[in-house]
């Protein structure tokens, strides 16, 4: 039995919660996956998987084996990167997740990281806040970009690196197209924005919780005209229909090419949400993660992130990227 490979299969099974999908992800047959799990049980002398007609989860002993498997696979990855990297040329994969509203910023970050270190291969994943936290806990993610304010709620041992502050805008069709790009308009109160038909993210998403809270604070709770769990649906629905949306500045920056749209900074209340990178504290970082964290703290990168996140001036106006 290849113990390391079997540990990888166990991790895949815990993530996919389905023998067929886990086998497909591991590029093996389902019988081969089942045999590997039986070999693990024989190796440790315990039942690892709750058996039924379908996958029913892991036993308490299985959860302990899984935790060891996650540490083993991570240490193997770290060691391979250390042995395969030169002093100033880190090599190897890095898995970075982000909440959907932060994906435009993470995409810029990953592209710059790969350009600076061509030997690093970033894998970028769009995940919910709870999925990010679970991924960090089970070591399937190296780094996560999301709402650092949630760290105190999870109880996980995480360390954070602040990146930018999320501001919010009402996105709507402009009365007439701007000559060159999306127009940043005058500030609008949340109470006034509530009068428009809105397409909003679905309730389980943390960004929706923030926006709902802002409308309630403004004394104008809203019922959306349309809901989605796909970020791209927000601006496309505004562009194609008679509807508006509320988006953070990072997404507004990503749709600047839509000159038919305009974005109005939302005020009263002034809602500002910190966004940062998070990683497991006390875990030995890989060479790729070390390089990513160094760039996350680089002044040039932080200025770039701020410029593409809907940075607001003291007067509540938005600065266009590059200004």
pLDDT score at 317: 46
Residue 97 sits in a domain whose CATH number is 3.40.190.10
How far is 300 from 113, CA to CA, in rounded Å?
A: 13
Q: Which residues pair with 161 in a beta bridge?
A: 277
pLDDT score at 312: 47
At residue 301 the predicted structure's pLDDT band, cuts being 50, 70 and 90, is very high
At residue 292 the predicted structure's pLDDT band, cuts being 50, 70 and 90, is very high
Residues 189 and 160 placed together within one structural domain of the fold: no
Residues 159 and 127 placed together within one structural domain of the fold: yes
Q: What does 62-121 look like in DSSP terms, one character per residue?
A: HHHHHHHHHHHHHHHHHHHHHHH-BTTB--EEEEEEE-GGGHHHHHHHHHHHHHH-TTEE
pLDDT score at 113: 97
Q: Average of pLDDT values for 19-47?
A: 88
pLDDT-above-90 percentage for the chain: 49
User: Which of residues 218 and 139 earns the better pLDDT score?
Assistant: 218
Residues 299 and 175 placed together within one structural domain of the fold: no
pLDDT score at 40: 84
Residues 207 and 254 placed together within one structural domain of the fold: yes
pLDDT score at 157: 80
pLDDT score at 64: 86
Residues 35 and 11 placed together within one structural domain of the fold: yes
Residues 259 and 174 placed together within one structural domain of the fold: yes
Residue 313, pLDDT above cutoff 50:
no
Residue 256 sits in a domain whose CATH number is 3.40.190.290
Q: Average of pLDDT values for 168-174?
A: 95
pLDDT score at 77: 80
* Inside any domain, residue 318: no
* Inside any domain, residue 205: yes
Q: How many domains does the chain have?
A: 3
3-state secondary structure of 178: coil
How far is 17 from 62, CA to CA, in rounded Å?
A: 13
How far is 125 from 167, CA to CA, in rounded Å?
A: 23
The pTM of this model reads 0.78
* Inside any domain, residue 315: no
Residues 56 and 129 placed together within one structural domain of the fold: no
* Inside any domain, residue 79: no
Least confident of 47-61, 69-83, 260-274: 69-83
Residues 152 and 290 placed together within one structural domain of the fold: yes
pLDDT score at 169: 96
Residues 6+ apart with CB under 8 A from 26: 8, 9, 12, 33
Chain mean position to CA 242:
30
pLDDT-above-70 percentage for the chain: 93
User: Which of residues 167 and 155 earns the better pLDDT score?
Assistant: 167
How far is 197 from 174, CA to CA, in rounded Å?
A: 15
Residue 311, pLDDT above cutoff 70:
no
Domain that includes residue 98, residue range? 85-165+273-307
- For the chain, the average pLDDT equals 87
- Model confidence pLDDT, tens digit, residues 210-253: 999 999 999 999 999 999 999 999 999 999 989 999 999 999 98
Residues 108 and 63 placed together within one structural domain of the fold: no
Cβ–Cβ < 8 Å for 92, 80: yes
- Model confidence pLDDT, tens digit, residues 183-216: 899 999 999 999 999 999 999 889 999 999 999 9
* Inside any domain, residue 190: yes
Residue 11, pLDDT above cutoff 60:
yes
Residues 206 and 138 placed together within one structural domain of the fold: no
Residues 215 and 99 placed together within one structural domain of the fold: no
Residues 231 and 291 placed together within one structural domain of the fold: no
Q: Average of pLDDT values for 262-267?
A: 95
Q: Average of pLDDT values for 25-50?
A: 87
């Amino acid at each position: 039995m290849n113990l390391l490979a079997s540990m990888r299969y166990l991790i895949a099974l815990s993530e996919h919660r389905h023998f067929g999908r886990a086998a497909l992800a591991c590029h093996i047959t389902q019988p081969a996956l089942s045999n590997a799990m039986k070999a693990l049980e024989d190796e440790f002398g315990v039942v690892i998987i709750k058996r039924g007609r379908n996958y029913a989860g892991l036993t308490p002993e299985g959860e302990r084996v899984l935790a060891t498997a996650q540490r083993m696979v991570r240490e193997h990855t770290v060691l391979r990167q250390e042995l395969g990297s030169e002093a100033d040329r880190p090599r190897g994969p890095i898995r970075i997740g982000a909440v959907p509203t932060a994906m435009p910023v993470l995409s810029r970050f990953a592209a710059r990281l790969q350009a600076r270190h061509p030997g690093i291969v970033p894998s970028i994943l769009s995940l919910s806040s709870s999925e990010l936290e679970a991924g960090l806990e089970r070591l399937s993610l190296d780094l996560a970009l999301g709402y650092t304010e949630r760290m105190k709620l999870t109880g996980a041992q995480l360390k954070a690196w602040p990146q930018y502050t999320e501001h919010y805008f009402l996105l709507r069709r402009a009365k007439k197209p701007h000559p060159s790009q999306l127009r940043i308009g005058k500030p609008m109160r949340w109470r006034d924005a509530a009068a428009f038909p809105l397409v909003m993210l679905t309730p389980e998403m943390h960004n929706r919780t923030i926006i709902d809270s802002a409308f309630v604070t403004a004394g104008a709770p809203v019922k959306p005209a349309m809901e989605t769990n796909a970020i791209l649906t927000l601006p496309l629905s505004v562009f194609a229909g008679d509807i508006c949306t509320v988006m953070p500045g990072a997404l507004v920056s990503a749709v600047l090419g839509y000159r038919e749209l305009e974005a109005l900074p939302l005020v009263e209340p002034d809602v500002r949400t910190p966004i940062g990178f998070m990683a497991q504290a006390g875990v030995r970082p890989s060479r790729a993660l070390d390089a990513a964290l160094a760039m996350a703290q680089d002044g040039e990168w932080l200025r770039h992130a701020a410029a593409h996140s809907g940075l607001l001036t003291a007067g509540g106006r938005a600065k266009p990227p590059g200004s």
